[in-house]
Amino acid sequence: MKNTTLLLIAILFSISVKAQDKSSFSSMELNHIRVATPGLFSQNQSIYLHLDSLTEKDYVFPLAGGKVISAYGARKGHSGADIKTCAKDTIRCAFNGVVRMSKPYSAYGNVVVVRHANGLETIYSHNFKNLVQSGDKVKAGQPVGLTGRTGRATTEHLHFETRVNGQHFNPNIIFNLKDGTLRKGCIKCIKKGNGIVVKPNQDNDRIAQNNK
């Protein structure tokens, strides 16, 4: 009897912890890809993604050995890069974070959206199957899905997106998509009207040049 009560408390506690993680996201955040991140630009008009502060265990190329079959912007409105290996290959989370959304979503098919601590979001789409749920804490390298062709896709591949405040930008700014390595240095994201300009931060270079 006592053991049963303890077990029940343990189960209820684990459910409440999980529900709390998920409930920290709004309904919009749980159900849509293009959503502004609350408070991200409340202090400053610019935020920085410090890729230079990441160690080797902090990042992973999401589809090992993958080849880009369609670049960002290659087709009208192409909001990510299409990366191909084979069907049902393991898609891995690029950085540590929390799964914001995991569900079928129109042309994206089965899609996983992960929010990272620095404000970056990564998106993994057309999955045969999603392996994580909203609210899950994920580590860099953790499997989040298997490659598929759900949604609007003509071949099995990963449609990989990077976004800040809901706005997509070229993932080639974060990863060198040709060789799967992480870019070096720091990325600057500047809020301009309703949009975000994302580019490698040149300020350090300028300081270095001025000191020459």
Return residues touching Zn ion (CB under 5 A): 82, 159
Comparing CB distances to Zn ion, the nearer of 82 and 136 is: 82
DSSP of 96-157: SEEEEEEEE-GGG-EEEEEE-TTSEEEEEEEESEE---TT-EE-TT-EEEE-B--SS-SSSB
89 vs 136, beta carbon nearer Zn ion: 89
**Residue 73 or 200: which CB sits closer to Zn ion?**
73
**Smallest gap, in angstroms, from Cβ of residue 78 to Zn ion?**
6
**Of residues 84 and 159, the one with the C-beta less far from Zn ion:** 159
Residue 26 beta carbon to Zn ion: minimum distance, rounded to whole angstroms: 26
Q: How far is the CB of 70 from Zn ion (least distance, A)?
A: 6
Using CB positions, name the residue nearest to Zn ion.
159
Instruction: Please tell me the distance from the alpha carbon of residue 98 to that of residue 113, in angstroms, as a whole number.
Output: 9
CB 73, min distance to Zn ion, A: 11
Any idea of the CA torsion for 135, 53, 161, 206, to the nearest 10 degrees? 140
- Nearer Cβ to Zn ion, position 47 or 153? 153
Instruction: Enumerate long-range contacts of 25-31, CB under 8 Å, 24 or more apart.
Output: 25/100, 25/101, 25/134, 25/135, 29/100, 29/101, 30/100, 30/101, 30/134, 31/101, 31/103
How far from each other are the two terminal CA atoms of the chain, in whole angstroms?
A: 76
CB 43 to Zn ion: min, Å: 33
